[in-house]
Amino acid sequence: MSTVPAFKRLPRAVREQQMLDAAVKVFSRRGFHAASMDEIAEDAGISKPMVYAYLGTKEELFVACLHREGTRMMQAIAGAAAPDLPADDRLWRGLRAFFGFVGAHRDGWAVLYRQARGEQPFARELATMRSRLVEVVAGMLDHALRAEGREIAAVDLEVVAYALVGATESLADWLADHPDADPEKTATRMMNVAWLGAAQLLHGVTWRPPAD
């Protein structure tokens, strides 16, 4: 009937991705609070009510961004670190994939993540994502330990994994702040820190506080 081209009536899924793209961009550039829904809508080339209709409130929108980017990152890691490889190999490939991803999305993932850490509303989402990472790392360590016939308390395992994840995040920050740095080299450095320490643990070497 109409000769008007159906140029704007894109399917919902496409529109949502456009919005998320814009949102990730703006949230990264401005930070969660300084970002305005106006700017996001404008950047997405869409009107504000549409954003609300599709992706909900500002907080929900941010969570959606976090979710999409986090999932992509986890997929990148999972795709690289196949579970049937030996532990050190898995760790290395995982780290390489992680830093590669962060390096390729310097103004996306790392910045969003940094934003989220400070705000209570995102604690839950963040905790979920971080636990997934911690789980993976702890799993690797545990697997390797058992292969050596050793065991370690779950809490300790978690804490150590937490520390490793923290170190990694910190280097991710460093990478995001140094645009010319090489992700692969960064991964190597992290591997040195992580694996050498872990290897010691694996072989039963532990440090104990002096009697004092």
Partner DNA sequence: TATGAATGAGTATTCATTCAT
Partner DNA sequence: GATGAATGAATACTCATTCAT
- Under the criterion CB under 7 A, does residue 57 sit at the interface with DNA? yes
**Cα(166)–Cα(173) distance, rounded to whole angstroms?**
10
> Distance between alpha carbon 29 and the CA centroid of its chain, in Å?
18
Q: Which stretch binds DNA (CB under 7 A): 4-12, 109-117, 118-126, 196-204?
A: 4-12
- Under the criterion CB under 8 A, does residue 167 sit at the interface with its own copies? yes
- Under the criterion CB under 7 A, does residue 52 sit at the interface with DNA? yes
Q: If contact means CB under 5 to 8 A according to the sort of partner, which of its own copies, DNA, none does residue 12 touch?
A: DNA
- Under the criterion CB under 8 A, does residue 89 sit at the interface with its own copies? yes
Q: Are 160 and 153 in contact, with CB atoms under 8 Å apart?
A: no
- Under the criterion CB under 7 A, does residue 6 sit at the interface with DNA? yes
* Cα–Cα separations (whole angstroms), residue 170 to 108, 135, 153, 175: 16, 18, 26, 9
**Cα(163)–Cα(160) distance, rounded to whole angstroms?**
5
- Under the criterion CB under 7 A, does residue 53 sit at the interface with DNA? yes
Contacts of 149 (CB under 8 A, 6+ apart): none
- Under the criterion CB under 7 A, does residue 37 sit at the interface with DNA? yes
Q: Are 110 and 172 in contact, with CB atoms under 8 Å apart?
A: yes
**Cα(121)–Cα(47) distance, rounded to whole angstroms?**
26
Query: Which amino acid is residue 1, in one-letter code?
Result: M
Query: Measured from the CB of residue 5, what is the shortest distance to its own copies in angstroms?
Result: 22
- Under the criterion CB under 8 A, does residue 190 sit at the interface with its own copies? yes
Q: Which stretch binds its own copies (CB under 8 A): 3-11, 60-68, 71-79, 191-199?
A: 191-199
Q: If contact means CB under 5 to 8 A according to the sort of partner, which of DNA, its own copies, none does residue 167 touch?
A: its own copies
The kind and range of the H/E element at 17 are helix 12-30
- Under the criterion CB under 7 A, does residue 96 sit at the interface with DNA? no
Query: Which amino acid is residue 13, in one-letter code?
Result: A
b/e sequence 162-172, b meaning 16+ C-beta within 10 Å:
bebbeebbebb
- Under the criterion CB under 8 A, does residue 7 sit at the interface with its own copies? no
Q: If contact means CB under 5 to 8 A according to the sort of partner, which of DNA, its own copies, none does residue 37 touch?
A: DNA
Give the residues lining the site for its own copies (CB under 8 A). Answer: 31-33, 89, 92, 96, 114-120, 156, 159-160, 162-171, 173-174, 184, 186-201, 205-210
Give the residues lining the site for DNA (CB under 7 A). Answer: 6, 8-12, 15, 34-38, 46-50, 52-53, 57-59
